[in-house]
Amino acid sequence: MANIIDEDDDRLIDAEDSSSDDEQQQEEEAEQSLSLPSVPGSGKRKIKKSEMKRNKLITIQPGLIRLSGLPYGFFERELYSYFSQFGPVTRLKLIRSKKTGGTRGYAYIEFEDEDVARIAAETMNGYLMFRSLIKSRVMDRTKVDTEKLFKNWKRLFTVKTPQQKRALHNRVKSNEQIEKSNQRRTTKLLKQQQRLAAAGIKYELTDFIPLKAMKKEDEKNVSSSEKKNEQVANKSTKKKIVKT
């Protein structure tokens, strides 16, 4: 399914680590680490003794940038080699497609120093590379779950075979997993229902599962409330008859 990606959206677009199913499958597979090339000058930042004496305490905050419009062939190794010229790169994540494993054209890079990340973002914003215009910006780390974003960032992404997909789909699920999947489906269907209502389209999605179960529960709640109201009304009428 094609997704429209907004370049100004700060939400995490989780391609590989979004579902627990993928995590279980990755744990079962053999771990393959990504061996990044050694770049001269990409080690840790060295602080001079004179600078330490002058400032007494130096705190270096990491910086995170988001790149979009990356050309084909600009993969993890190339990103690490290219952006290491600005400063030490601690982590990077190139977003790939689940089905094909191909790059989706955007990535996240974390630098050791926030100032270096800002310089790299300003330098690469609007940079033309192989007929592709790259856009980059510094992201607010307080609004991004970096541990989730860079989880297993050294592991090479592998496309699942049809046999692995069938085994993953047909596996026995627990009640908790079924409830979570139903909740995800209900939230998606409710959002679609709101969009249809906002567009003026009268079409109910309550016949689909699991919204059908929710509809039955609502009907039960309405019937129970109606019965309670009838009982209260009958009691009041009986009291009036006894008083007369």
Summarised one tens digit per residue, pLDDT across range 1-39 is 444 445 555 544 444 444 445 555 555 544 456 666 665
DSSP 143: G
> Residue 187: pLDDT band by 50, 70, 90 thresholds?
confident
CATH number of 20-167: 3.30.70.330
- Neighbouring residues of 55: CB distance < 8 A, sequence distance ≥ 6: none
For a pLDDT cut of 70, what percent of the chain falls above it? 60
Tokens 């000058």 correspond to 41
> Per residue in 44-70, pLDDT tens?
555 555 555 555 556 788 999 999 999
Buried b / exposed e over 115-130, threshold 16 CB at 10 Å, is ebbbbbbeebeeeeee
pLDDT for 165 = 84
Q: Angle at CA 193, nearest 5°, toward 190 and 195? A: 115
Q: Is the pLDDT of residue 217 over 70?
A: no
Contact 138, 117 (CB under 8 A): yes
The torsion angle over the Cα atoms of residues 87, 93, 94 and 96, rounded to 10 degrees, is 180
Strands 127-129 and 132-139: antiparallel
Task: Locate the domains of the chain by residue range.
Answer: 20-167, 175-243
For a pLDDT cut of 90, what percent of the chain falls above it? 20
pLDDT for 15 = 42
Give the closest residue to 60 by CA, choosing from 44, 73, 71, 72: 44
Q: Is the pLDDT of residue 97 over 80?
A: yes
The model carries a pTM of 0.54
Question: pLDDT higher for 225 or 154?
Answer: 154
Contact 58, 109 (CB under 8 A): no
Q: What's the CA gap between 202 and 215, in Å, rounded?
A: 17
pLDDT for 216 = 63
Q: What's the CA gap between 191 and 96, in Å, rounded?
A: 26
The torsion angle over the Cα atoms of residues 120, 102, 105 and 30, rounded to 10 degrees, is -40
Question: pLDDT higher for 225 or 106?
Answer: 106
